Amino acid sequence: GIPPVEGASAPELSGARRVFERAVAAAAKSADDVAALWCSWAEMEVRCGNPKAALRVMQRAVTPATAGQKRRVFGQQPAQADAETASLAFRSARSWALLLDLEEAVGTPETVAAAYDRALELGVATPRMVLSFADWLSGQGYHERSFRAFERGLAAFPWPQAGEIWSAYLSRFIERYKGTK
């Protein structure tokens, strides 16, 4: 996990947030740079004991920028940058992984499911995310929905990426139904 920050004062935290706000709005060299900034901001919030603030930061990170919010990409003309930056952190598996972890920690079952569904729709989900979602659903008692998550993941990934999903799906299915289906 992320180690807590002890003794961070309100003015220091407020100043750090202002710095991050400017940083995520500044020109970026790559999508990884933008995703790293958003994730660092959220991790700071977690260390300071603000997991819900961290969740809000990551929700912003994976929300596509509108025309008035587009960030500039270093070395590109603004019009070219607008098209590129609309998907910088929004299309980052790193950003989505942190968002999904935070959703599981402090979100509601509805927001967790919606976030995983959105990651799958956008094609940014990884096989590990599918497995985490299915495990989370099963842990919440949503067994049938867990199987649908496995099936959706199997449809999204070709072999061999789907191998781990198949293995977990079949094991869970056999464990749950013990030959009755």
Of the candidate ranges 64-68, 102-106, 123-127, 141-145, the one whose mean pLDDT is the lowest: 64-68
> How far apart are alpha carbons 60 and 151 in whole angstroms?
29
Cα torsion angle, 72, 69, 62, 161, sign? negative
How much is the pTM?
Answer: 0.77
The mean pLDDT of the chain is 82
C-alpha dihedral over 102, 105, 111, 112, to 10 degrees?
A: 90
- What would the pLDDT profile of 16-28 be if each residue is shown by its tens digit? 889 988 888 877 7
pLDDT tens, residue by residue, 49-72: 999 999 999 999 888 765 444 444
Neighbours of 83 (CB within 10 A): 11
> Crossing angle, helix 143-156 and helix 163-177, to 10 degrees?
160
